[in-house]
Chains A and B, each alone.
Chain A
Amino acid sequence: MRSGKIGYLWPFVKLGLTDVWRHKTRSFLTMLGMVFGVGSVVAMLAVGEGASQQSIDSIKKLGSDNIMVLSVKPSSEETGSTGQARGSLAVYGLLYEDADRILETVPGVKSLVKARMTQRVARVGERQLEMRVVETTPEWFGIVNRPLLDGRVLSERDLAYRANVCVLTEHGVRRLLSGREMVGQRIRIASGVFEVIGIVQNESGGTVRAPDSEADGYIPLTTGTKLFGEANIRYSAGGMEGEKVELSEIIVHMKGTEYVEAASRAIESVLKRFHKKPDYKIDVPLALLRETEKNKRTFNIVLGAIAGISLLVGGIGIMNIMLASVTERTKEIGIRRAIGARKSLIVVQFLINTCVLSITGGIVGLALGVAIPLLITLFTAMPTVVQPYSLALAFGISVGIGIVFGLYPAMRAAALDPIEALRHE
């Protein structure tokens, strides 16, 4: 008589469904708690996921197997300046030697890119554009992934011959050379004339500081040294101000993410030994990524907890109604017990009843939870990601709540004395 066949449980499911249908208003109000609970769990997780994926994506663009070492201007007291009467020259930052030392001492380095970045004015005839000039080596293009749109990128030959060539970003090209044949064009950057040899795509979107800015010009490092030197001097009324930086950035490309942590510590200790002043900074995108992912988890837990509270409230609502229902159906319980239903079957009957409520509420809630992120994305352009696991989670929780909060009323029902229950009117 206790076969677990579906045919055996179906009458109880049917009973639960008809009971829900019979008390439409009550059931609807009871289920609302579950609907909003499940809906908010799914929607909140989707919004949280969308936000964190956005920032994770932009960090990933930096390359999780890269370590970026940047020159930082130390605060003024620490600046070792060649003090002159009418101006000052700040000398700080990474040196060529640093790059060599890193390459020699740090294990797991695949390649290394040296770059010096300065703001310079580019001109083509009448047009002029203040652009960031990146003096670098061909490896840059291997590490900072930019699809090539036209022409070619810098080569070792360019570096060796100190060629006056430059690669522009799409954005820079559009502002400087719009309407003209782009590759092969000559442009003037500060005091030099450069031939545009290639165009690369701009980075799209992203909020985190990226190694490229919108309008970039890439020239060989050697050409930069030859033409501009290492001191960048600005003249202003009454004097001049300048800074001498050998390299503004070293990007260390590791063989794999597993080398990154050890390497960043090694780089730190190498640099510490040769730099008296804290004139450098080490950025580890991987660490940033990890931190963001950790934040994301915390964020999700907080959101989930808030949504969980509404689920809890929904569950309590269901329990409340089921307790009322047990009182209302005392007579029926008595009859069923007299006929020969075991206590456990009464528990099953009431549990199924609560589960029908909570699962129906859960399904409507899932629909709501999927619809809300879609609407948010539609109206606010905020990315949202509904993850399958969150659907399963919310649904599982709604079933679980049905069982947990149904259990107490069901046990109360089963514990009724059949003689008393039969007498109940």
Chain B
Amino acid sequence: MKPGNDEVVRLENVKRHYLVGDETVRALDGVSFTIRRGGYWAIMGPSGSGKSTMLNILGCLDRPSEGAYWLNGENVADMGDDELSDHRLKNLGFVFQSFNLISQLTVCENIEVPMMYLGIPPHERAERAKALAERVGMGHRLRHLPAELSGGQRQRVAIARALANDPAVILADEPTGNLDSATSVQIMQMFEELYGQGKTIILVTHEPDIAEYAKSRIVLKDGRLLSLEESPVQRNVTPEMESGNA
């Protein structure tokens, strides 16, 4: 069944099985849930719970063995590599634990990468990259290389890059895993702001205090949904953001 317009992510009985030797590993074993536009979710669970697999599937880096995954109104479960790439480009923004900035590129160029693949003209790219960098408080470091930045600064740049394609969903994989607690707080505040601006955020973490920031929670265990607690999306969405995601 096609999901409603405000459902940005919808998983229907998603299974992901690997064959390791003669043994089938059921990394995900029938998970279903729905994430509404503007939600702020944490996906939790101990290691081996299927968290990473879930992240890869949500991030269109992997395909479910069974089941349907509706992303922004389209079932991506059976899509080919190019279509999945296009979905990543248009609908997803990644924030990784290890920042994953391209080390040869400057801050500005890193933020420009998604826009480059989207085919946005150079001058417009540069302008928007500058605006995004300012939005995450990195406007003064545009010409720096990632190696010249602190961890917190790098993660801000990564967030700016994740926002560059104005994605339907921001996927954050342990975004504070490599940061000290003070910086972690700053980064989490930034996600809070994005949530306030109406962004849909999915946080994958095993740290309960980080998961606390999220409004809704999914706990996985052994590839199954252990618990799901959803709080209604606060509708303090700015008009600009709403139109951007529609």
B120 CB to nearest chain A CB (Å):
9
Q: Which residue of B lies closest to A418 (CB)?
A: B61
- Contact status A419-B165, CB under 8 Å: no
- Contact status A340-B85, CB under 8 Å: yes
- Contact status B118-A343, CB under 8 Å: no
A359 vs B100: C-alpha distance when bound (angstroms): 31
- Contact status A332-B104, CB under 8 Å: yes
What number of B residues sit within 8 Å (CB to CB) of A?
31
- Contact status A338-B59, CB under 8 Å: yes
Select which of A3, A337, A419 is within 8 A of B85 by beta carbon. Answer: A337
A5 vs B125: C-alpha distance when bound (angstroms): 15
Select which of B62, B90, B102, B118 is within 8 A of A419 by beta carbon. Answer: B62
Which one of A7, A10, A337, A340 has the greatest number of beta carbons of chain B within 10 Å?
A340
Q: A1-B89, A332-B102, A418-B61 are in contact. Are A340 and B114 (CB under 8 A)?
A: yes
Q: A342-B82, A419-B61 are in contact. Are A335 and B117 (CB under 8 A)?
A: no
A3 vs B116: C-alpha distance when bound (angstroms): 11
Interfacial chain A residues near B89, Cβ < 8 Å? 1, 339-341
Interfacial chain B residues near A342, Cβ < 8 Å? 81-82, 85-86
Interface flags, B34-63, vs A, CB<8A=1, else 0? 000000000000000000000010010110
Interface status of B92 (Cβ within 8 A of chain A): yes
- Contact status A10-B117, CB under 8 Å: no
Q: Which residue of A lies closest to B114 (CB)?
A: A339
- Contact status B119-A8, CB under 8 Å: yes
Interface status of A206 (Cβ within 8 A of chain B): no
A44 vs B101: C-alpha distance when bound (angstroms): 48
- Contact status A338-B88, CB under 8 Å: yes
What number of A residues sit within 8 Å (CB to CB) of B?
29
- Contact status B104-A336, CB under 8 Å: no
- Contact status A338-B119, CB under 8 Å: no
Interface status of A281 (Cβ within 8 A of chain B): no
Q: A19-B104, A335-B102, A419-B61 are in contact. Are A7 and B122 (CB under 8 A)?
A: yes
Considering the complex, which residues of chain B in the window 128-167 have a beta carbon less than 8 Å from any beta carbon of chain A? 161, 165
Select which of A340, A343, A422 is within 8 A of B117 by beta carbon. Answer: A340
Interface status of A11 (Cβ within 8 A of chain B): yes
Interface status of A331 (Cβ within 8 A of chain B): yes
Interfacial chain B residues near A340, Cβ < 8 Å? 85-90, 92, 114, 117, 165
Q: A1-B117, A8-B119, A332-B102 are in contact. Are A339 and B81 (CB under 8 A)?
A: no
Considering the complex, which residues of chain B in the window 70-126 have a beta carbon less than 8 Å from any beta carbon of chain A? 81-82, 85-90, 92, 94, 96, 100-104, 112-114, 116-119, 121-122
A22 vs B113: C-alpha distance when bound (angstroms): 20
Select which of A7, A331, A339, A422 is within 8 A of B121 by beta carbon. Answer: A7
- Contact status A339-B61, CB under 8 Å: no
- Contact status B122-A10, CB under 8 Å: yes
Considering the complex, which residues of chain A in the window 288-347 have a beta carbon less than 8 Å from any beta carbon of chain B? 331-332, 334-345
B66 CB to nearest chain A CB (Å):
19
Select which of B61, B82, B116 is within 8 A of A343 by beta carbon. Answer: B82
Interfacial chain B residues near A341, Cβ < 8 Å? 85, 89, 117
Interfacial chain B residues near A19, Cβ < 8 Å? 104
Q: Which residue of A lies closest to B100 (CB)?
A: A335
A418 CB to nearest chain B CB (Å):
5
Interface status of A2 (Cβ within 8 A of chain B): yes
Interface status of A185 (Cβ within 8 A of chain B): no
- Contact status A339-B82, CB under 8 Å: no
- Contact status B100-A343, CB under 8 Å: no
A337 vs B56: C-alpha distance when bound (angstroms): 13
Interfacial chain B residues near A155, Cβ < 8 Å? none
Considering the complex, which residues of chain A in the window 1-41 have a beta carbon less than 8 Å from any beta carbon of chain B? 1-3, 5, 7-8, 10-11, 15, 18-19, 22
A167 CB to nearest chain B CB (Å):
77
B53 CB to nearest chain A CB (Å):
10
- Contact status A22-B61, CB under 8 Å: no
Interfacial chain B residues near A336, Cβ < 8 Å? 102, 113
A339 vs B94: C-alpha distance when bound (angstroms): 7
Q: A1-B117, A7-B122 are in contact. Are A422 and B85 (CB under 8 A)?
A: no
A419 vs B88: C-alpha distance when bound (angstroms): 13
A21 CB to nearest chain B CB (Å):
11
A124 vs B166: C-alpha distance when bound (angstroms): 105
A332 vs B81: C-alpha distance when bound (angstroms): 18
Interfacial chain B residues near A419, Cβ < 8 Å? 56, 61-62
A335 vs B94: C-alpha distance when bound (angstroms): 9
- Contact status B119-A18, CB under 8 Å: no
A3 vs B118: C-alpha distance when bound (angstroms): 10
Considering the complex, which residues of chain A in the window 402-425 have a beta carbon less than 8 Å from any beta carbon of chain B? 418-419, 422
A342 vs B118: C-alpha distance when bound (angstroms): 11
Q: Which residue of B lies closest to A18 (CB)?
A: B104
Q: Which residue of B lies closest to A417 (CB)?
A: B61
What are 26 A-B pairs with beta-carbon distances under 8 A? Answer: A1-B86, A2-B119, A7-B121, A11-B112, A11-B116, A18-B104, A19-B104, A331-B100, A338-B61, A338-B94, A339-B94, A339-B114, A339-B161, A340-B85, A340-B87, A340-B92, A340-B117, A340-B165, A341-B89, A343-B85, A344-B82, A345-B117, A418-B61, A419-B56, A419-B62, A422-B100
In addition to A343-B81, A345-B117, A419-B62, 6 A-B residue pairs with Cβ atoms within 8 Å of each other are A18-B104, A334-B100, A335-B102, A340-B114, A342-B85, A422-B61
Q: 7 nearest interchain CB pairs?
A: A340-B89, A340-B88, A1-B119, A342-B85, A335-B100, A342-B82, A339-B114
